[in-house]
């Protein structure tokens, strides 16, 4: 990437893979829009590198996503949609509210962000949607099968046309 195109937006940057990606890209000289719900965690991330610009919002809230994207000064050329959530089912008992919460983040949250990204994409931009191998494996107590299979289906079913 040329120096003019060294801006990345990362959702889920307040912890885990997103936190590490934000640090790695910032250390390489990228301007990083680090997105997450916790402004406290994002400010701590920003303290580690001046290239990090925190954007605190909840991806399940379309209005918050829209407002956050309106605050982007330099258009990213790399969009990493990494935010995700995981809760566990105890004793094999389905909890519809739990599954609804997880799907709200992992599916609809991703859709909410993609809705804003799509109007900003230019030739040469890249979009990465991060998922998990947990969608391919049956794991004890993990409803993650639901969340990642659903995300995989939503974004791949239309492209296999």
Confidence of residue 79 (pLDDT cuts 50, 70, 90): very high
Is pTM beyond 0.85 here? no
Please give the pLDDT value at position 23: 97
Confidence of residue 85 (pLDDT cuts 50, 70, 90): confident
- The CA distance from 42 to 103, in Å, is 24
Please give the pLDDT value at position 103: 84
Q: What pairing do the DSSP bridges indicate for beta strands 31-36 and 52-56?
A: parallel
Please give the pLDDT value at position 83: 86
Average pLDDT over residues 44-72: 96
Counting Cα atoms < 13 Å in the Cβ hemisphere of 93 gives 4
Task: Write out pLDDT tens, residues 88-146.
Answer: 777 777 888 988 888 888 889 999 999 999 999 999 999 999 876 655 655 666 654 44
The per-residue b/e assignment along 28-62, b for 16 or more CB within 10 angstroms, e otherwise, is: eebbbbbbbbeeebbeebbeebebbbbbbbbbbeb
The packing angle between helices 110-118 and 62-70, to 10°, is 40
């Amino acid at each position: 990437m040329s120096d003019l195109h060294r801006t990345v937006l990362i959702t889920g940057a307040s912890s885990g893979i997103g936190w590490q990606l934000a640090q790695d890209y910032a250390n390489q000289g990228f301007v990083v829009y680090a997105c997450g719900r916790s402004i406290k965690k994002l400010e701590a991330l920003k303290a580690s590198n001046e290239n990090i610009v925190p954007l605190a919002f909840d991806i399940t809230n379309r209005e918050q996503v829209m407002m956050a994207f309106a605050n982007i000064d330099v258009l990213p050329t790399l969009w990493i949609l990494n935010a995700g959530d995981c809760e566990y089912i105890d004793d094999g008992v389905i909890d519809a509210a739990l599954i609804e919460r997880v799907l709200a983040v992992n599916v609809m949250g991703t859709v909410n962000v993609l809705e804003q990204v799509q109007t900003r994409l230019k030739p040469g931009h890249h979009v990465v949607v991060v998922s998990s191998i947990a969608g391919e494996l049956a794991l004890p107590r993990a409803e993650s099968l639901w969340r990642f299979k659903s995300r995989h289906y939503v974004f791949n079913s239309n492209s296999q046309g």
